[in-house]
A and B are shown apart, each in its own frame.
Chain A
Amino acid sequence: MAAVVEGSNSTPSAPRGRGRAFLQSEQAQGLALISPTLLYALILLVVPVGVVIAYSFWTQDYLSIDRTFTLEQYSTALGEPIYRDLLLRSLWVSLLVSICTVVLAYPIAYYISFHGGRHKSLWLFLITIPFWTSYLLRVMSWKVILGYNGVLNSGLIGLGIIDEPSTALLYNTSAVVITLTHAWAAFAILPIFVSLEKVDRTLIEAARDLGDGPVRSFLRVTLPLSLPGVISALLIVMIPTVGDYVTPKLVGGKDGVMIASAIETQFKRGGNWPLGSALSVVTMTVVTMMALAVVFIIRQAGRRVR
């Protein structure tokens, strides 16, 4: 950002009185006003992430850090079967969760945008409320539902559908996927809704007038125009869920452990900071690559439909 500040100095936008003009220019005032927030983000986000990246190239011997450059941590993070399995599972879960949330959310966003009428903001409010309640408690309520003595089991027994509680519901990857899909629902609906709102309704009418049925006009006009919202919904859900810690811990059991548990272990007492850092960097890099691939595939598909 320093470059931007310096660069802006040499290009005063107003003609009269150079120094004063710059101080009064939009450029200077805007930067000055945003600088406290920007500095905060630089100091507490960019610097720490930079430090993590630096650590990932170092080694640790008990408590002392050896600052010679090495790729040792990365070969452990990518080579050890435990970490590789955890990473693959985390990626799989985040991919599945982001697709499920978007597919489930799209019709709702569509309904609110096209049939919400005067109650659009009430609908949006209703949908965001559960999301604001404690994440920990929402995960816990799924544990209550899916558990051995849980709501679903006791309900199914009460209805006479099964004779004894099923253990297949809780402590596995699908419990993690269900819980996360529920937890991230609102995050997917909002961006899709926003992009659906931007769809020019006259274009849909035009498609209808020109003989497209409702399905064709949806597929060829509405859906492609709302793809930016779909893409941002996918990213907003996919990237954070890859590092989710609470859900796998509470409902994942042995089979649902994800990479965040491994990262946490490395940062506890007696852990290995450089290895934990390398795991974090690898997770971020790989999930970003996966996200870019998904965006690319969707864009291609969107072009083909049109």
Chain B
Amino acid sequence: MKRLLSHWLPAYAFLYIVFLYLPVMFLPIFSVNASHVPKFPLTGFTWKWYEELPRTPALLDAAWNSLMVGVTAAILSTILGICAARAITRYRFRGRTAASGLIMAPLVLPEIILAVSLLIVMLSLGLKLSLFTVVLGHVLICIPYSVTVLNAGFEGFDRSLEEASADLGETSFGTFRRVTLPMVAPAIISSLLVSFTISLDEFIMAFFLAGTDATLPVYIWGQLRFAAKLPSVLALGTLLLVGSFILLTIAEMLRRRAERRVHGVATHA
């Protein structure tokens, strides 16, 4: 039995990774395939689908919109995330569990229900659907991720350092800026990158709340109806894939550095 486990478990793990990655890998493969139809055997190598991309104004508009929405949503959700994560990890207060449960709730609710409920409220209030309403929706679903990333960064953070700083005469803002912030900076950047990536890839909220301005996923959704457009969508998808991958790798490296820094200081003290 033990031998069975030690032989089969790694094999299973390998197969599982293949199952996870293989479907995603077809995007880059067919994005450089000469044929319109994504099927084997491949017909030849080409960059032409990529060359088409910058010549499509609608795509460039959507990319710009996504960038704006992503940056705004990332900043807002990280600021709100810092408040929540700091309160959760630093203070014990009544209602803490309920409050953090409510803040994390969007993570476990069907997105379509979040989207239509926001839609009803915004239209009832007479708000015009725009990129701004998309940002409001994206911040709501990014906050749980920001809080998770920041919680990890704030936890294990040695409070005696802050106390020492206060004893030595720093104001609470000074302590935050000169002691707390440098320690948690990697977690904050990591939260910014993660929420930007989520906003960049998010479809349902943008689909319901965007009005006439499309974000990239909404643009892709519109293109999927045309079979002839598929290769350039695959090319665009590949670019997004590479972009997300780079951002997340940086986020992960920063998160690890933050972990090491916090733990390193803790063991020193």
Enumerate chain A interface residues (CB-CB to B < 8 A): 1, 4, 7-8, 26-31, 33-38, 40-42, 44-49, 51-52, 55, 104, 107-108, 110-112, 115, 121, 125-127, 129-130, 132-138, 140-142, 144-145, 149-151, 153-155, 158, 182, 185, 213-215, 235-236, 239-246, 250, 260, 263-264, 267, 273, 276-277, 280, 283-284, 287
Contact = CB atoms under 8 A, between A and B. Distances in A.
B95 interface: yes
A263 B208 CA distance: 12
A130 B24 contact: yes
Given A150-B38, A154-B40, A141 B117 contact: no
B1 interface: yes
A133 B245 contact: yes
B254 interface: no
Nearest to A7: B94
Contacts of B268: none
B5 A214 contact: yes
Interface string B80-101: 1101101110111111101110
B83 A36 contact: yes
Given A30-B92, A44-B118, A154 B240 contact: no
B139 A40 contact: yes
Contact of A137 (B1, B38, B220): B220
Closest 7 A/B residue pairs (Cβ): A243-B110, A30-B91, A30-B93, A48-B117, A34-B87, A33-B87, A4-B95
Contacts of A115: 6, 9-10
17 contacts: A26-B92, A30-B93, A30-B96, A33-B90, A34-B103, A38-B102, A40-B80, A48-B117, A111-B9, A133-B201, A134-B201, A136-B201, A144-B26, A144-B38, A182-B23, A240-B111, A245-B204
Given A38-B103, A110-B9, A136 B220 contact: yes
B13 to A, nearest CB: 5
Given A108-B12, A260-B112, A144 B30 contact: yes
B224 A240 contact: no
Contact of A1 (B95, B112, B197, B244): B95
Given A137-B241, A260-B110, A283-B113, A37 B83 contact: yes
Given A52-B116, A126-B17, A137-B27, 15 more contacts: A27-B94, A41-B105, A121-B256, A132-B201, A133-B245, A135-B203, A140-B224, A142-B23, A145-B26, A153-B39, A214-B2, A235-B108, A243-B110, A243-B112, A277-B116
